[in-house]
Amino acid sequence: MGKESYLPLFETEAAKGRMAYMVYAVSVMMGICLICVYRLIHFPSPSQGRLQRWAWMGSFMAELWFTLYWLITQSVRFNPIYRFTFKHRLSQRYEKVLPKVDIFVCTADHTVEPPLMVINTVFSVMAYDYPPEKLSVYLSDDGGSELMFYALLEASRFAKYWLPFCKKFKIEPRSPAAYFETVCKALDDPTMAEEWSSVKKLYEDMKKRIVSTTKVGQIPEEIRKEHKGFQEWDLVSSKHDHPSIIQILIDGRRECSRGVDIEEKEEEEEEAMPTLVYLAREKRPQYHHNFKAGALNSLIRVSSRISNGPVILNVDCDMYSNNSESVRDALCFLMDEEQGHQIAFVQFPQTFDNLTKNDVYSSSLRVISAVELAGFDANGGPLYIGTGCFHRREALSGMKYKKDYKTDWMVKNDRKVEESTHVLEETCKVLASCSYEENTQWGKEMGLKYGCPVEDVITGLAIQCRGWRSVYFNPERKGFLGVGPTTLLQALVQNKRWSEGDFQIFLSKYCPFVYGHGKIPLQLQISYCCYLLWAPCSLATLYYVTVPSLCINRGISLFPKLSSPWVLPFAYVILAKYGYSLGEFLWCGGTFQAWWNDQRMWLFKRTTSYFFGFTDNIFEVFGFSKSGFVVTAKVAEEDISLRYEKEVMEYGAPSPMFNILATLSLANLFSFVGALKMVIMDSKTRVLDLLALQTMLCGLVVLVNLPVYEGLFFRKDKGRMPTSIVYQSVVIAILAHIAALLPP
């Protein structure tokens, strides 16, 4: 191998233009300092009234919070790094000794996560460009649905045609649904065209069977007789009360499918296939099942008995693999001779394939993926985001890192090839039972941690605190593509869960400054706070979009006069920050309209999702409520999908979040109209000079909320704002406007 054996399997490059960014950041900080000076030296005197003093103090406090949070975000922006892999070197050195890889796909409810979507994710990871006998795919069905089992049974049969087709023609992506949607007709190559048509027909036939069976909601008796696995559901009382169900549908040891229970052996040798396993862990009403974390811990234990791959990939059921070489990319990090031994997990970004051109709900996480997570990597490693992540099994299972640690990639489990599949299934049921974790370290020091809506984040933090580091990898061809929210409520509920869980971590013993003290670098502790402090950002934002606009009604000025030189630092900070934000967004591949949508959703999330996440945490601290896991729907009705494709915001269902959005938008609209009226009636333009910045802020909020006004008053479709919310928000906004005019 010569010198090639010493070349690294990956390289790291620092982001360019760091000096220019530093100049920008320092200049903004100087502007912020001048704003603080202005607030202090122009603090209202008692003669100006108590109301103005309190409003001024509130504005100053909000600005101090914005400053603190902005400083925190700089921890992930000063020095992002980017990784590149050399897969050909991996193949040259380790092709014959590549490790086993266990892949976990998690689903929780077949009504919001359709079986057809789930098995397309399963197909995409089964078809990786990797030795199939070294791949094992596990589907965890926390809904315990025989409809999901039936879909996976159908998948085990179709896989015998799909995987060879993918391998022969090296197609991308390897989710049948995504592939056939991209390649919608037979290709020019006659050989490929013939096989393409044949495989597509098989897929469409399978699709019809799954969709029709799912629509009926019951497995026909003739299908139930085809596989003895359906007998397991004879003991199922409900999805919350049933024993463990484990079925090995494709046994990689024997390189044959158990899609149908027939003992006869075919004469021709079948091509090697990945192992395929269905798991519905035991559920009992008296046991807390710990949501996705509990499911993954069951998978870790069951897989250790069946395949025991030293590398584990976990993906959500709606995140299909978009790159067949992702496994090899991850192994370039984990198997690198120089640095690989200290890497616990390789995190890919969370990206989506159903986004509109201008990303109406700002679901792309574009800047987070391109900049912030790369900054995390530079500070000690990205956080674990719960999907699209390759783990070292030992690190995920609780092992502490030691400097002399060496990996045995050829580690074997104690499973004997002669052991019957039925015996193996029965043995593994104990590992997935409710009582197995009692009096153990599972959920504490082993596996994923329990007790938080974002258990993935504290799990990744715990791994890093045990001495490991992580790596962020964002290849040009995205590793995984998922389904983003198609309604505004879905997007807000999803962000509410994230912000609530993140802030819960900050308030708990897992706060990075406490749990990570002396274990991870300070800059990494600060980096975590970029997301852990989403929720409290709501308070400052709500104040800033409410009080200054209401103060206009009284002629109370909270900003410098337009003619004052003190207006310059305010103007510079605003223009510099948003100018840089736009440039950064365009650099990340977005459009101007997508950036504007991102600013709108920034305001929507901070005034609703983050606010509810904050209040729920406070209630929980005082024992008034308990957090729960919410599964967001992955399908939408046809009319909703059409509006989404046209980038028309979907309101439709009533929600307290919409009450806040509508009320804030109307309150600012009334104040803006009132400000314009005062300016027009003031012949000496004193009002304009005094309230210019306040009026501009109010007008900006009005401009951002144009789709809300449209949904409130002008739209006639089913996606308009519910009538009850229209009435309530109008009344509350008018009352707020009147209250602001009353004498103190």
User: 500 in a domain, yes or no?
Assistant: no
Rounded alpha-carbon distances, angstroms, from residue 169 to 131, 187, 204: 16, 12, 20
The half-sphere exposure of 547 on its side-chain side, counting CA atoms within 13 A, is: 21
Is the pLDDT at 684 greater than 80? The verdict is: no
**Residue 277, strand partner residues:** 138, 248
If you average pLDDT over residues 465-492, what whole number do you get? 95
Is the pLDDT at 184 greater than 50? The verdict is: yes
pLDDT computed for residue 581 by the predictor: 96
User: 490 in a domain, yes or no?
Assistant: no
Are 41 and 132 members of one domain? no
User: 523 in a domain, yes or no?
Assistant: no
Is the pLDDT at 4 greater than 60? The verdict is: no
pLDDT computed for residue 259 by the predictor: 43
If you average pLDDT over residues 291-298, what whole number do you get? 95
pLDDT band, residue 1 (cuts 50/70/90): very low
Is the pLDDT at 414 greater than 70? The verdict is: no
Q: Which domain holds residue 33?
A: 14-76+531-741
Are 69 and 92 members of one domain? no
User: 514 in a domain, yes or no?
Assistant: no
Cα(547)–Cα(556) distance, rounded to whole angstroms? 10
If you average pLDDT over residues 716-744, what whole number do you get? 89
Query: Which stretches of 556-705 are DSSP H helices?
Result: 567-587, 592-604, 610-621, 638-645, 656-681, 686-704
Which region among 247-256, 555-564, 654-663, 698-707 has the lowest average model confidence (pLDDT)? Answer: 247-256
Query: Which stretches of 682-722 are DSSP H helices?
Result: 686-704, 706-709
Cis peptide bond N-terminal to 173, omega within 30 = yes
pLDDT band, residue 568 (cuts 50/70/90): very high
Last residue of a domain, one of 450, 484, 518: 484
Last residue of a domain, one of 484, 517, 540: 484
- The beta-carbon contacts of 158-161 under 8 Å, at least 24 apart in sequence, are 158/123, 158/202, 158/203, 158/206, 159/123, 159/126, 159/250, 159/257, 159/273, 159/276, 160/257, 160/270, 160/271, 160/273, 161/198, 161/199, 161/202
pLDDT computed for residue 407 by the predictor: 79
687 Cβ neighbours under 8 A, 6+ residues apart: 555, 675, 678, 679
pLDDT computed for residue 279 by the predictor: 97
pLDDT band, residue 412 (cuts 50/70/90): low
Are 459 and 562 members of one domain? no
Cα(721)–Cα(659) distance, rounded to whole angstroms? 10
pLDDT band, residue 451 (cuts 50/70/90): confident
- State pLDDT tens for residues 636-669: 578 899 999 999 999 988 999 999 999 999 999 9
User: 328 in a domain, yes or no?
Assistant: yes
Last residue of a domain, one of 455, 484, 513: 484
Are 24 and 149 members of one domain? no
Are 153 and 246 members of one domain? yes
Are 212 and 334 members of one domain? yes
pLDDT computed for residue 258 by the predictor: 43
At 409, the amino acid letter reads W
The most confident of 45-54, 139-148, 225-234, 417-426, by mean pLDDT: 139-148
Cα(339)–Cα(415) distance, rounded to whole angstroms? 31
pLDDT cut 90: percent of the chain above it: 80
pLDDT computed for residue 317 by the predictor: 95
Are 625 and 708 members of one domain? yes
pLDDT computed for residue 48 by the predictor: 84
The residue ranking higher by pLDDT, 1 or 23, is 23
Query: Which stretches of 359-410 are DSSP H helices?
Result: 366-367, 373-378, 393-396
User: 677 in a domain, yes or no?
Assistant: yes
- State pLDDT tens for residues 171-183: 999 999 999 998 8
- State pLDDT tens for residues 586-623: 999 999 999 999 999 999 999 999 999 999 999 888 87
- State pLDDT tens for residues 532-563: 999 999 999 999 999 999 999 888 999 999 99
Are 625 and 698 members of one domain? yes
Are 290 and 240 members of one domain? yes
Are 110 and 54 members of one domain? no
Are 178 and 37 members of one domain? no
Cα(19)–Cα(17) distance, rounded to whole angstroms? 6
User: 234 in a domain, yes or no?
Assistant: yes
- State pLDDT tens for residues 88-130: 999 999 999 999 999 999 999 999 899 999 999 999 999 999 9
Total tally of structural domains belonging to the chain: 2
pLDDT cut 70: percent of the chain above it: 93
What's the Rg (C-alpha) of the chain? 28
Are 139 and 214 members of one domain? yes
- State pLDDT tens for residues 364-402: 999 999 999 999 999 999 999 999 999 999 999 999 999
CATH number of the domain at 436, please.
3.90.550.10
If you average pLDDT over residues 57-86, what whole number do you get? 96
User: 508 in a domain, yes or no?
Assistant: no
The set of catalytic residues is 142, 456
Is the pLDDT at 261 greater than 90? The verdict is: no
487 Cβ neighbours under 8 A, 6+ residues apart: 361, 636, 640, 644, 650, 652
Which region among 138-142, 164-168, 278-282, 550-554 has the lowest average model confidence (pLDDT)? Answer: 550-554
CB 209 within 8 A of CB 237: no
